């Protein structure tokens, strides 16, 4: 927030290496980051400004000023200033504590050490002291300190590998490479210190996948692209060291540009209370005006008779001026309708709810000893009103762990588990996995439960051997050995790692590669294949192939890819096997597995040589090079022989499917916003049951221009509405209309289920001002929305779009730094403490370890918090209207003199002592149904979304209830005491006796009322409610005693009154009559409401009562897999693979190549590989809920 100043009009950035003095004239930001809101100097003014944005605080400050004026104050000033200072102080301490942890986190990052080249030598320097233009040395597994231009590295040709999980959520390794002119600098410190190149590049921005610039050095200019840049937040992997020049630092880095600002969040109830306080203030002004007018009339007509008695001189006090002073006096007296104790109580209740979240053992993840944590205490009830959940994918819904689950080889499925009778069964802990102990290089984390595959291998099944051989040869995996001699695979994509690991465990072990060979160990025998060609993957081909020569001299093409693509390349002789394998793939996809078809082709030596010569010519061509190469790939990848298919599980986190289903039943819409590719996101959508084959349609928006996107959105909407009208015979049901800033959107309840999938580049156009209206309208009519390849800032923009134009409460959940902006933008931000660091957790409002805990957080804690807060507010406003408006009625009988009905001490203690604890107990402990019912019946969540429990209507009802109670409290004692004598024949209608009677009636009435309002009784509720009544009487008799009067005669004038009044039977009868008259209408109305119009929670409570004696055991929801005809696309990496990188040898260290067999390979022209690489680069849950509802 308070970072180094930089030119706001920066158009381009000019950076000179190793020259701080030159760069400082541009006033670039340093590398210090600030995520905190305050510092020592700004905390007090900014925090007070934020607190007095709360209308109630400003209102009480105004009342305090009024009370300091003697002419109008009828109450002492300490009754307002003490609680006001208490509330301000408590909130300030909480805000300071939250910000302290932000400072602590910032300092932890800013004080990290980095090696910086200063004065021709490497020095350890704190990150915050790194400047633009500095040259930094990074070592393997280190975080990148700033956005760097890569100069040189330990790898050949200036390559380095990075992991970008903190930026885009991907754990795939990505390659970056230095310019050839700078890679020669190597690790020579003297040459690096003399490097004085000048980089001219784009201004700081948030585009993670784009960078343009030019490096000028030694009289020549070199183009810079994103492939030359390493961004802050990345981790260096598989690279011993590298050097880079700082281009962007601190807040200018792309990571921080995407992080968003820390916002002051308030709940919808807070905002509503601000409005209600203004209403109440207006109401008090009206009451004050009425009483002021009455005072002026009374002074003019009656008051003159008292002036002689009061020794007032004529004309000293006019009736108009008296009315003016009385107006302000009544404003002070009647301010207790909204006492400051309301806000103290709200903060205490929220704190209690936060501790319940922290203490919930069912949200504790024992795997990492991580409890749930409420990192803020001001948003709990908002958890009960969520309508939209925006979720990251990688690390949030999934574990980002790929596991080889099943395969189909030559028409037979391997991976199914059968019991002793041959029946298919589920995998359980009792089932014995395949024993791989004979394989010394086994990956011990791999498990497979079908023993038939190992039996087929041992029997020498040639198709099975060829299948596993293909998995060991056709990939881009790099291998290395660690210090313990164990084989370690470095993978571009987790999918490939899973397949190569599976082949490894079944005896086909990928050992090493060179640019010209691949060495594998086949069942204990080391075999080296000559790599003749590598046909790499891209998003159009959706497959990859290798052409190898085996030791026998045979040339083989091995290919794997999406079944929809590969099946078109098969030889006609595969028709029967194709049908069978296709059915198997459908079965795998139905289980949410990611499938891949496997095929091969035998090539003749002569044909291959002719084809390879054409490939060399195509690589050397200047015109239509890519098209020619693609055509040659198509030509050789035909007439393939099908081997089978693989099925890999992108393992979901535990409980994701149940959580998604349950939240859907609670009418919560889940949008997935991911930086991952479209195919992967769609697969996870199906695996989570967000997408199903039963959906009427899935709309994919992939336009590259604004016009295309707009047209695709229009067609999708027409298709959706057209299908809906045909399904419903022309009848479209309309729901509520909501006014948008850009126009109104009619939310139509369609009869079918639809999904919308949109890519990041299309989303960029769709978020333009004249298109986003159509995007939002279509998205809100769909059951599921998936946004793929989105940047962190786009995630925040989507959240802001829904927040602003749908007027809905939003929640964002993620686990990486790429989710921080989204988390800060949503009403509620939740961080998953997962694999990708703590940035998301530090920016969040709540955190826990597993996505499944979101179900309990919302349906139990969120719903209870909302329910309790609403109940608390309804009761609080009721009791204070009842307490305060007695003064209004009394004004008509005391000459409108601003005389209070009650003793001043009773006014002071009523909200602080007599009624504070019972309402706190209800606000903290009350529950309409238990946590099991809340989880089992998600529909209970909907009242919070519809804001039914506390709104302007319910406030009006509470107000009327309070007014009625104030009428009974005043007029029943008034009528009873009119011309009445006590048991001893004396008159009891004195002011003090009247005050004690009304005060006692009030305490008893509000205590009985809260007893009626309490749904869940605990020992604490009993102690607080009945203890408060006992406390009232003990304090009452103490304050009216002779002893305290002797000590403070001016402060306690009601001497002996309690003892005198409360010994009269008539007084107790009046109190009883007042209580019955106040409570009985409410009891009758509630009885009729529950009997005639029961809510769902009423039905559940009734059902629980009837089942309490013989409750059936709680059964878990059955989990079933959906069937699917959908083909699950294979999730390769986003950019083109490392094929050319491998065959060029530029990523490999010089070493003696292993012996090759067969004819020597003539490498084709690969001089332009870098340029090419840069260029190309619900059913079960529903029935359960329905069954339960029927039972109720």
Quickly tell me which residue has 């006590």 as its tokens: 982
Contact (Cβ atoms closer than 8 angstroms) between residue 907 and residue 336: yes
> For 857-941, where are the alpha helices, taking DSSP H only?
863-891, 904-909, 916-925, 931-936
Q: Which of 774, 475, 711 is nearest to 596 (CA)?
A: 475
For 813, the 3-state DSSP assignment is strand
Of the candidates 405, 353, 402, which has an alpha carbon nearest to the alpha carbon of residue 380? Answer: 353
CA distances from 767 to 263, 797, 887 (A): 22, 8, 56
Q: What is the DSSP string of 59-107?
A: HHHHHHHHHT-TTT--S-THHHHHHHHHHHHHHHHHHHHHHHHHHHHHH
| 481 neighbors 487 (Cβ within 8 angstroms) | yes
Residue 396's Cα: distance from chain center in Å?
9
Q: Which residue shows structure tokens 């004692």? A: 973
Q: Which residues 6+ apart lie within 8 Å of 37 measured at CB?
A: 1, 46, 95, 99, 102, 262
Largest CA distance in the chain: 131
Find, among 1049, 947, 932, 1059, the residue nearest to 992 by Cα: 1059
Identify whether the C-beta of residue 344 lies closer than 8 Å to the C-beta of residue 88: no
The two beta strands, 412-414 and 398-409, are antiparallel
* Pair 663, 670: CB distance under 8 Å: yes
CA neighbours within 13 Å on the CB side: how many for 514?
16
**What angle (nearest 5°) sits at the alpha carbon of residue 425, between those of residues 419 and 431?**
60
Q: Which helix (H) or strand (E) holds 734?
A: strand 733-738
Please check whether residue 327 is in contact with residue 292, taking contact to mean a CB–CB distance below 8 angstroms: yes
Q: Which two tokens stand for residue 353?
A: 């709810």
Q: How far apart are CA 503 and CA 300, in angstroms?
A: 103
**Sheet containing 810-814, strands listed edge to edge, beginning at the edge strand earlier in sequence:** 373-374, 846-848, 828-832, 810-814, 388-391, 669-673, 784-788, 754-759, 697-701
> Are 816 and 836 a contacting pair, CB within 8 Å?
yes
411: left (phi over 0), alpha (psi -120 to 50) or beta: left
Q: What is the 3-state secondary structure (H, E, C) of 423-435?
A: CECCCCCCCCCCC
Residues forming the active site: 392
Residue 141 burial by Cβ neighbours in a 10 Å radius (0-12, 13-18, 19+): exposed
Helix (H) or strand (E) holding 510: strand 508-513
Per the listing, tokens 């015109």 go with 623
| Separation between Cα atoms, residue 812 and residue 799, nearest integer Å | 8
- H, E, C per residue of 307-338: HCCCCCCCCCCCHHHHHHHHHHHHHHHHHHHC
SS (H, E, C) 192-213: HHHCCCEEEEECCCCCCCCCCE
What is the rounded radius of gyration, in angstroms, for the C-alpha atoms of the chain? 38
d(CA 351, CA 333): 30
């Amino acid at each position: 927030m308070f970072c180094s100043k930089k030119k706001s009009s920066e158009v381009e950035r000019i950076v000179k290496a190793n020259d701080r003095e030159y760069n400082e004239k541009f006033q670039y930001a340093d590398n210090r980051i600030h995520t905190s809101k305050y510092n020592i100097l700004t905390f007090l003014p900014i925090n007070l400004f934020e607190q007095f944005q709360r209308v109630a605080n400003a209102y009480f400050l105004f009342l305090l000023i009024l009370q300091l004026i003697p002419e109008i104050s009828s109450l002492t000033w300490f009754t307002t200033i003490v609680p006001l200072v208490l509330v301000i102080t408590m909130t300030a301490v909480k805000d300071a504590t939250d910000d302290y942890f932000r400072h602590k986190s910032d300092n932890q990052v800013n004080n990290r050490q980095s090696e910086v080249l200063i004065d021709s030598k490497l020095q350890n320097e704190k990150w915050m002291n790194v400047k633009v233009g500095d040259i930094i040395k990074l070592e393997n597994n280190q975080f990148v300190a700033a956005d760097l231009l890569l100069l040189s590295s330990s790898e050949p040709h200036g390559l380095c590998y990075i992991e970008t999980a903190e930026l885009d959520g991907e754990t795939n390794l990505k390659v970056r490479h230095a310019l050839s002119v700078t890679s020669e600098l190597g690790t020579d410190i003297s040459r690096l210190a003399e490097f004085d190149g000048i980089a001219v590049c784009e201004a700081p921005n948030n585009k993670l996948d784009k960078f343009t610039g030019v490096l000028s050095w030694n009289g020549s200019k070199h183009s810079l692209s994103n492939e030359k840049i390493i961004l802050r937040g990345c981790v260096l992997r598989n690279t011993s060291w590298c050097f880079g020049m700082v281009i962007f630092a601190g807040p200018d880095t792309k990571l921080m540009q995407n992080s968003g600002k820390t916002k002051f969040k308030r709940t919808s109830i807070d905002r509503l209370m601000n409005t209600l306080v203004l209403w109440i203030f207006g109401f008090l002004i009206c009451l004050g005006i009425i009483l002021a007018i009455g005072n002026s009339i009374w002074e003019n007509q009656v008051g003159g008779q008292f002036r002689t008695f009061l020794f007032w001189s004529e004309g000293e006090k006019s009736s108009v001026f008296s009315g003016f002073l009385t107006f302000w006096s009544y404003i002070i007296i009647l301010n207790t309708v909204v006492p400051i104790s309301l806000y103290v109580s709200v903060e205490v209740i929220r704190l209690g709810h936060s501790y319940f979240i922290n203490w919930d053992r069912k949200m504790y993840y024992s795997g990492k000893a991580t409890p749930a944590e409420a990192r803020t205490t001001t948003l709990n009830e908002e958890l009960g009103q969520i309508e939209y959940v925006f979720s990251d994918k990688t690390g949030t819904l999934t574990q980002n762990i790929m596991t080889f689950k099943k395969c189909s080889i030559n028409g037979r499925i391997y991976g199914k588990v059968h019991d002793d009778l041959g029946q298919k069964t589920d995998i359980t802990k009792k089932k014995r996995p395949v024993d791989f102990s004979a394989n010394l290089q086994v990956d011990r984390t791999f498990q497979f439960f079908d023993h038939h595959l190992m039996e087929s291998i041992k029997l020498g099944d040639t198709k099975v051997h060829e299948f596993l051989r293909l998995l060991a040869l056709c990939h881009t995996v790099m291998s290395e050995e660690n210090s313990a001699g164990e084989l370690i695979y470095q993978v571009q994509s987790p999918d490939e790692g899973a397949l190569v690991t599976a082949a490894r465990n079944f005896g086909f072990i990928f050992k090493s590669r060179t640019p010209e060979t691949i060495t594998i160990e086949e069942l204990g025998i080391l075999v080296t294949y000559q790599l003749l060609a590598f046909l790499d993957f891209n998003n159009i081909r959706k497959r990859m192939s290798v052409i190898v020569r085996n030791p026998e001299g045979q040339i083989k093409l091995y290919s794997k890819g999406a079944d929809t693509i590969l099946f078109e390349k098969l030889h006609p002789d595969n028709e029967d096997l194709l049908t069978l394998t296709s059915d198997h793939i459908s079965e795998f996809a139905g289980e949410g597995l990611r499938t891949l078809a496997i095929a091969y082709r035998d090539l003749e030596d002569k044909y291959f040589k002719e084809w390879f010569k054409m490939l060399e010519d195509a690589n050397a061509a200047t015109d239509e090079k890519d098209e020619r190469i693609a055509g040659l790939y198509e030509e050789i990848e035909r007439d393939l022989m099908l081997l089978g298919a693989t099925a890999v599980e992108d393992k979901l986190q535990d409980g994701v499917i149940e959580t998604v289903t349950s939240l859907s039943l609670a009418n919560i819409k889940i949008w997935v916003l991911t930086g991952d590719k479209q195919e992967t996101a769609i697969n996870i959508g199906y695996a989570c049951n967000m997408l199903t084959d039963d959906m009427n349609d899935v709309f994919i928006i992939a336009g590259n221009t604004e016009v295309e996107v707009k047209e695709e959105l229009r067609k999708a909407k027409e298709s959706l509405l057209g299908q809906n009208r045909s399904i419903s015979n022309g009848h479209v049901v309309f729901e509520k209309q909501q006014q948008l800033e850009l126009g109104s959107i009619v939310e139509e309840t369609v009869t079918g289920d639809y999904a919308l999938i949109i890519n990041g580049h299309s989303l960029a156009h769709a978020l333009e001002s004249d298109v986003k209206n159509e995007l939002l309208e279509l998205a809100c009519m769909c059951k599921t929305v998936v946004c793929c390849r989105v940047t962190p800032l786009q995630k925040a923009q989507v959240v802001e779009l829904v927040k602003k134009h749908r007027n809905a409460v939003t929640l964002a959940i993620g686990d990486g730094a790429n989710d921080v902006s989204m988390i800060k933008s949503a009403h509620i931000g939740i961080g998953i403490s997962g694999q990708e660091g703590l940035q998301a957790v530090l920016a969040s409002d709540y955190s826990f370890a597993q996505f499944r805990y979101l179900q309990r957080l919302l349906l139990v804690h969120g719903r209870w918090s909302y329910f309790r807060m609403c109940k608390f507010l309804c009761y609080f406003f009721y009791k204070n209207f009842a307490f305060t408006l007695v003064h209004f009625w009394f004004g008509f009988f005391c000459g409108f003199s601003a005389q209070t009905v009650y003793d001043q001490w009773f006014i002071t203690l009523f909200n602080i002592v007599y009624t504070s604890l019972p309402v706190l107990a209800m606000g903290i402990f009350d529950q309409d149904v238990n946590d099991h019912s809340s989880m089992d019946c998600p529909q209970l969540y909907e009242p919070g979304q519809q804001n039914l429990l506390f709104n302007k209507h319910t406030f009006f009802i509470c107000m009327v209830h309070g007014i009625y109670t104030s009428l009974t409290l005043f007029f029943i004692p008034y009528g009873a005491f009119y011309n009445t004598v006590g048991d001893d024949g004396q008159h009891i209608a004195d002011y003090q006796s009247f005050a004690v009677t009304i005060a006692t009636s009030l305490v008893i009435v509000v205590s009985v009322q809260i007893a009626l309002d309490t749904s869940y009784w605990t020992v604490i509720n009993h102690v607080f409610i009945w203890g408060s009544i006992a406390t009232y009487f003990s304090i009452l008799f103490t304050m009216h005693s002779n002893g305290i009067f002797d000590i403070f005669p001016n402060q306690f004038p009601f001497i002996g009154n309690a003892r005198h009044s409360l010994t009269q039977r008539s007084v107790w009868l009046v109190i009883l009559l007042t209580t019955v008259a106040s409570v009985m209408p409410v009891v009758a109305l509630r009885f009729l409401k529950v009997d005639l119009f029961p809510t769902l929670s009423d039905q559940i409570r009734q059902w629980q009562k009837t089942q309490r004696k013989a409750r059936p055991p709680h059964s878990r929801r059955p989990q079933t897999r959906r069937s699917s005809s959908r083909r699950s696309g294979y999730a390769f990496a986003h950019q083109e693979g490392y094929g050319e990188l491998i065959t060029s040898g530029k990523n490999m260290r010089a070493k003696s190549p292993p012996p090759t067999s067969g004819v020597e390979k003539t490498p084709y022209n690969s001089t332009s590989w870098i340029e090419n690489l840069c260029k190309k680069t619900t059913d079960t849950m529903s029935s359960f809920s329905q069954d339960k509802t029927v039972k109720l």
